[in-house]
Chains A and B, each alone.
Chain A
Amino acid sequence: MNNSKKKTLLLLLSVFVIATCGLIYELIAGTLASYLLGDSITQFSTIIGVYLFAMGIGSYLSKFFKDRLLTWFIQIEILVGLVGGISATILFFAFEQASGFHILLYGLISLTGILVGLEIPLLMRILKSELEFSELVSQVFTFDYVGALLASVLFPLFLVPYLGLLKTAFFFGMLNILVAILLCFIFEKGIRYLRFLRAQAIVLLLVLLVGFVYAERIQNFTETLNYNESIIFSKSSPYQRIVLTNVKGTTKLYLNNNLQFSAADEYRYHEALVHPGLSHLYGPATILILGGGDGLALREVLKYPSVQKVTLVDLDATVTDLFKNSASLKKLNEGALSDKRLTLINTDAFTWLKKQQTQFDFIIIDFPDPSNFSIGKLYSTSFYEEIKKVLKPNGAFVVQSTSPFMARKSFWCVNATMKAVGFQTQAYHVYVPSFGEWGYVLGFNHFGSNTVYLPQQLRFYNPQQWEEMKHFPIDMAEVPTAINKLNNQVLIHYFEEEWGKVQ
C-alpha cells in the first residue's frame, strides 16, 4: 500500500469513529433526557430530530471553511470529543441545579450535531483529490453507517450496563480526541498550528481521563440516574436527597433513593400505622408524631375528633415545607400540615425527646429503616426508655418496623427491644403493594381489645382486618433475637444481613 492509500484509509477510519461517537452522543442524550424528564418517546424523538437538524446546519456551514481543511477537521474533532465527552456530566449537574435544563439539553445536542455535521463534508473535500467521486461517496457513507450500526448495538448491550452513561461519554470523547492526535502525527506536514493542536488534544485527553476515572464519584453526586420514572421535583436538603416522581399520574416520594410512599397505596401503609393503636384508645387528645414529615400519618390522626393537640417532629424542614405548600401534595395529605391543632418542630427527634416533660396519649414513630448506625439509635432500648417517660400510663405507641417478610429478625428484634424496656407489645403487618409485607409494633402498658372509635370512610382498615393483621404466617413468625442497645446495635447487623441478601 502506498503512502497516500494508507492516509486515505486512516481518514476513512476516522469517519467510522466519528460516526460511532456521534450516534453514541445522541443516544446518551436521549437516554438521559428520558431518565431525567420521563416520557421516553417524546424525549428520543425530539433529541433525534434536533440532532439531525443540527447536523444539517453543520453541513451547511461547512461551505464557509475554505482552506486548511485538515487543520479545521482536527480542531473540530477535538471539540466533538470535548463536548460529547462532558455533556452527560454537565447535564446531570445542571438537572439538579438549574431551571433552564431544557435549553442546556438542546443547546448541547445542537452543538454536538453541528460539529459532527461539519465533519463529513470537510472530510469528503479533503479526500476528493485522492478518490473518484463515486468511490468517495460510497466509501465515506459505508463507514459512516457501519459505525452507526456498531454504536446502536453496543450502546444498550454493553455500554449502558457495564460502563454507565457518564463513563461511556468520557470514553467516546477520548476516542474522538485520540483520532485527532493520531491524525496530527500522521499528517504532520499538512497541518498548521500543529503544536497548538497537539497540546490542546493532550490536555483535553487527560481531562477526559480524569473524568473517566472519577465517573463513579460524579455519579454518586447525581443519583438521579437511579430513577426510571419521571422526576417532578428533586432537591437536596442538608440532610437528604428528596425526589418526587410521577408515573402515570401516581406520585412517589424517595428519600435518599428509598421509596417512602406511592400515592397509589400509601393509605394502606398510613391507615395501618395509625388506626390500630389510636382506635383502641379512649378519647386520645395529645398525639406525638416522630418522623412523618409528609403529613400523611397526621392526616389519619386528624380524623379523630377527640384529638386536641398534635406535635410533629421531623428533622427536615425541606420535606415539611414541601408537603405543606405544594398544591398536589397538599391534596394528598388533605392540608394536614396547616391544621390549627398541629405544632410542627424541625429538629432531631432523639435530642428533642430527651428534653421533653409533657406526656402524650399516642405516639407514632415513623423513622427510616435502621440501615445505619445513627438511625439504629432510634430503635434502641435507650430511645424506648425516653418514649416511656413521655407516654401516658394508658397510652400507646407504634413503631414502623421494616418488613417482617424480608427482614424477619430485624422486625422481631424491634419487638423484643420494646419488650425489654418493660412494654407489652402487639406486632402486626399489612400488605402494601409497593413495599410488600410491612410490619409495625404497638407498645403499651394496657390495651383494650375493643375498638373505641374508628373514623368513617377509611379505605382499608377495619376491625376484621385488624384480626388478620395480628396473625403472622409461619414464614414471618416470631424468631428469638438479641435486644438492640446503643452499645451493641445488633439491629443494624440483622438489617444489613437480611436486606443485603435481597439487594
Chain B
Amino acid sequence: MKRRTFIKWSGTLFALPALQACDLLSGNANFPITFTGPNASTAHKIRTQEFPDPQITKELDTIIVGGGISGLSAARWLKNAGHTNFNVFELESAVGGNARGGKNKISEYPFAAHYVPIPNNTFTELLHFFEQHQIITGYNEQQLPVYNPYYICSEPQERLFFRGIWHDGLPPKNGLNTNEWHELQRFLNQMEQFKLAHGVDGKPAFTIPLEWSSTDPAYTRFDQMTMQEWLEKESYTQPFTHWFIDYCCKDDFGTPASKTSAWAGLHYFASRNGKAANCSTFDILAWPEGNHFLTKCLMADVAAHIQTQHLTYKIEKEQAHWKVFVWNEATQQTILYLAKTVIMACPQMVNKHLLKALMPIDYNYFQYYPWLVANITINKKSELNGSQDLAWDNVSYNSPSLGYVNATHLSLASNQQETVITYYYNFSINSAKEERLTIASKTPEQWKQFILDDLKLIHPTIANNISAIEVNVLGHGMISPTPGFLSHPARAQLTKGLPGLYFAHSDCSGISIFEQAFYRGIEAAKQVLHYGS
C-alpha cells in the first residue's frame, strides 16, 4: 500500500469529523485543470480582419489552407503526383485539426478523434495509405488486407453501464430483457440487409465515402427525415433501441437522432463492410493518441511543405492568380501569396469570412455543434473496473455524455497502474449557437464539477483517483448532417469549386469522419492537378 492511501484512510477513519468524512469518501477534487482548446483569439480575428498590410509578396503554384486531415491528405496526393511547389498553411502551432493529440508522462492521448473503423475494401486509396504506413502489413491469399495487430483495438473493446452494472459490449451482450433484445436484433438485422443492398444504379445503398453511395431515391429519400422519424416509421418502440441509436448519432455526428438526417444515420450502421484477413468488419483501428497517429503518418509524407502558425485571413481573385493573405503569428507579419490554385481545407464557417462574395452559398446551412473533450489522468486504473473490466470505450446508459476512452488500452505494458481517459460530451440539445453561449460562460472550476458530477454516477469515488484534467472545449466541434443536407445546393457548389480554387474540408461531405476528410483531400488535389493540364 502506498503511503498516500494509508494517510487517506487513516484520515477518513480517525481524524475527521464524521460529517466531513462522507464528503471525503466521495472525493475531494484538488487536482489541476488546464485548457488546450483551439487558438480562438487568433482565429476570431478573421472576422474583423485587423491585420497590417502585406510587406512581402511570394509566389507558389498551390496553397492549401488548413492542416487538418483533409489538408494533409490533399498535400500528400499532390506530392505523390510530383506537384511539389505548394505550401500548407495551418493557423495552430501543430497540424492535425481534430486529429491532434497530447502527451503526458503516462500516455499519449487524443484531443478529439480517436479511431477509424476497418475501411471498405473498395476504398483503395485509403488501403494504399495504410499499407504505406504499416497499418496494413500485407494481403492474404484471398487478397484481404492483414491489419497490424497492434492497431486493431484489443478486447475488451466496449462496455456499457446499464441498470446499475457494467455489461460487456455495446450494444451489450447481456442485460437486456427479451423485448429489448429482440427489437435490437431486428434493427441490427435490418442494417445487415442494408449493408448488402444496392440501388438501381448498381452502387451500394450505403458506403463510405458517401459520395459513392447510390443515388437511387429508394435510399436517398431517407435524407428527408430525421433518424428519429425513421425509427418511428419502422415501428421501433423500445427505449433501449432509441437510446442506442441516439448515442451512435451523437457519437459520430454530434447531434441526437432527432436532428440527424436518417440517410446519414443509416450510414453509421450500414456503410461499413470492410473485410480483413485477421479481424472482423466490426473491429476498429485505434491508437493511444487516437487519430493523431494518422496525422503523424500524413505529416511524414509532406513535412517540408507545412507552415504552422500561419493564419489565412483573406482570399481574392486577380486575373490568373489567387491572392492569399497570410498572417504569420510567430513573426507577426503579413505575407501575400500569389497562387495558381488553392485548396480550402478549413471549415465553411471560416471560408465565409475568407471568400465572402466569391463563393455565394448559403452558409447558415453549415451547423457545428460544440464538444467538450477532457483528458483525465487516473492514478489507478484498476479502480475503474467493475462487474466488467475497464474497456477501451466505456459508456453509461444514464449519462448525457458519450463516456470515455482509455488511452493505455492499446499499450502493451502489462502492469501499468496509471492511465489517461478521454471523456466526450456533445452539446446538441438546443441550437448550436445557444449551446455555444452556455459553454462559453463556464469557469474551469465549473467544468471540473460538470465532469465529476457526471462521472461520479458510474465511479462514485473517482475524484480521489484523478491527478489532472486537461479540457478541450470545441466551440465548433463538427458539422452536423441535418435532414436535407444531401440534396442541398451548397454541397454541389462546393464539390465543383471555383476555377482554380477547390474545397477539401470534411464538412463539404456533411459528415465529419477521417475517411471523408481523407477522401475530400484527394478529390480537391485531383481537381488542382486537372486544372493545370
Which chain A residues have a beta carbon within 8 Å of chain B's beta carbons? 86, 89, 93, 96-97, 203, 206-207, 209-211, 214, 218, 221-222, 236, 238-240, 315, 348-351, 354, 372-375, 377-378, 380-382, 385, 485-489, 492
Contact = CB atoms under 8 A, between A and B. Distances in A.
Given A207-B13, A210-B12, A222-B1, A489 B156 contact: yes
Nearest to B413: A348
Contact of B10 (A93, A378, A380): A93
B415 A374 contact: yes
B19 to A, nearest CB: 8
Interface in B4-38: 5-6, 9-10, 12-14, 17-18, 21, 25
Contacts of B157: 487
Nearest to B382: A372
Contacts of B328: none
A487 B412 contact: no
Nearest to B9: A218
B5 A489 contact: no
A377 B154 contact: yes
B149 A487 contact: yes
Contact of A351 (B6, B279, B283, B412): B412
A211 B9 CA distance: 9
B13 A375 contact: no
A238 B5 contact: no
Contacts of A378: 414
Q: For A236, A354, A382, which residue has the most chain B Cβ atoms within 10 angstroms?
A: A382
Given A210-B25, A222-B1, A380-B149, 12 more contacts: A93-B6, A96-B1, A207-B13, A236-B1, A348-B415, A373-B156, A373-B389, A375-B414, A385-B149, A486-B149, A487-B283, A488-B155
B339 interface: no
Interface string B24-65: 010000000000000000000000000000000000000000
B31 to A, nearest CB: 20
Nearest to B157: A487
A485 B149 contact: yes
Nearest to B412: A350
Interface in B153-198: 153-157
B154 A486 contact: yes
Contacts of B414: 315, 348-350, 374-375, 377-378
A21 B6 CA distance: 27
Contact of A221 (B9, B150, B153, B279): B9
A169 to B, nearest CB: 12
B237 interface: no
Contacts of A93: 1, 6, 9-10
Contacts of B417: 238-239
Interface string B127-168: 000000000000000000000011011111100000000000
B415 A211 contact: no
Contact of B18 (A86, A96, A210): A210
A451 to B, nearest CB: 35
Nearest to B417: A238
B6 A207 contact: no
A354 B152 CA distance: 17
Main secondary structure of the interface of A (DSSP, over half): helix
Nearest to B390: A373
Nearest to B408: A374
A206 B415 contact: no
Contacts of A214: 12, 25
Given A218-B9, A374-B414, A203 B154 contact: no
Rank and list the top 4 A-B pairs by shortest CB-CB distance, nearest first. A206-B18, A489-B155, A350-B412, A486-B154
Nearest to B13: A211
B85 interface: no
A206 B1 contact: no
Contacts of B21: 206-207, 210
Given A93-B6, A210-B13, A487 B18 contact: no
Given A97-B6, A373-B389, A351 B415 contact: no
A246 B107 CA distance: 40
B416 interface: yes
B387 interface: no
Nearest to B17: A203
A489 to B, nearest CB: 4
26 contacts: A86-B14, A93-B1, A93-B9, A203-B17, A203-B18, A207-B18, A207-B21, A209-B18, A210-B13, A210-B21, A214-B12, A221-B6, A236-B1, A348-B414, A349-B414, A373-B156, A374-B413, A377-B154, A377-B412, A378-B414, A486-B152, A487-B149, A487-B152, A487-B279, A489-B154, A489-B155
B383 to A, nearest CB: 11
Interface string B349-373: 0000000000000000000000000
Contacts of A382: 149-150
A348 B153 CA distance: 20
Contacts of A351: 412-413
A206 B416 CA distance: 37
Given A211-B13, A315-B414, A348-B413, A486 B389 contact: no
Nearest to A378: B414
Given A93-B1, A210-B12, A354 B412 contact: yes
A89 B21 CA distance: 17
Nearest to B12: A210
B93 interface: no
Interface string B419-449: 0000000000000000000000000000000
A43 to B, nearest CB: 23
Contact of B150 (A96, A240, A372, A486): A486
Contacts of A349: 414
A350 B13 contact: no
B278 interface: yes
A381 B149 contact: yes
Contacts of A486: 149-150, 152, 154-155
B6 A487 contact: no
A367 to B, nearest CB: 8
Contacts of A487: 149, 152-155, 157, 279, 283
Given A86-B13, A489-B155, A239 B150 contact: no
Q: For B6, B13, B153, B389, which residue has the most chain A Cβ atoms within 10 angstroms?
A: B13
Contacts of B283: 487
A240 B382 CA distance: 13
A93 B1 CA distance: 9
Contacts of B14: 86, 207
A259 to B, nearest CB: 19
Contacts of B10: 93
Contacts of B13: 86, 89, 207, 210-211
Nearest to A492: B155
Interface string B391-425: 00000000000000000000011111100000000
A106 B323 CA distance: 87
Contacts of B17: 203
A240 B415 CA distance: 9
Given A372-B389, A382-B149, A486-B152, A239 B415 contact: yes
A138 B13 CA distance: 40
Contacts of B415: 239-240, 315, 348, 374
Nearest to B149: A382
B412 A348 contact: yes
A206 B13 CA distance: 9
